[in-house]
Amino acid sequence: MFPKLLDLPNYLNNVERLGKGLLVPAAALRLDSQKNYQPELIYFDEGSKISFMPAAAVDSCNGVFVGSSVLQYGGFEVCKVPTGAFA
């Protein structure tokens, strides 16, 4: 999920507040080639766990989703994924 670029100076000036007092929503979409690349929402958070999440990866073999934040201190979110969710 890409926040408005107009808000970027506010985020850069308040990095220590990201994920605490300053929440920036985070989301990840999956584009499945077998479904004609129709976007599917696989992760969403209002910003309390991770804010400003530009990257995410899924390890379907071990059932793990990892989201990362470039600006937030300690900006990683690791979640278990149900078996077969991304087969």
CB 14 within 8 A of CB 73: no
- Ordered by start, the domain boundaries in the chain are 5-80
CB 23 within 8 A of CB 53: no
Average pLDDT over residues 46-62: 84
Q: Cα–Cα distance between 82 and 87 in angstroms, integer?
A: 10
2-40, pLDDT tens digit by residue? 555 667 788 888 888 888 888 888 888 888 888 999 998
Q: What is the mean pLDDT of the chain?
A: 82
Q: Cα–Cα distance between 82 and 65 in angstroms, integer?
A: 10
Determine if the pTM surpasses 0.85. no
Specify the 3-state DSSP secondary structure of 5: helix
Choice between 6 and 45, residue whose per-residue pLDDT is larger: 45
Average pLDDT over residues 55-79: 84
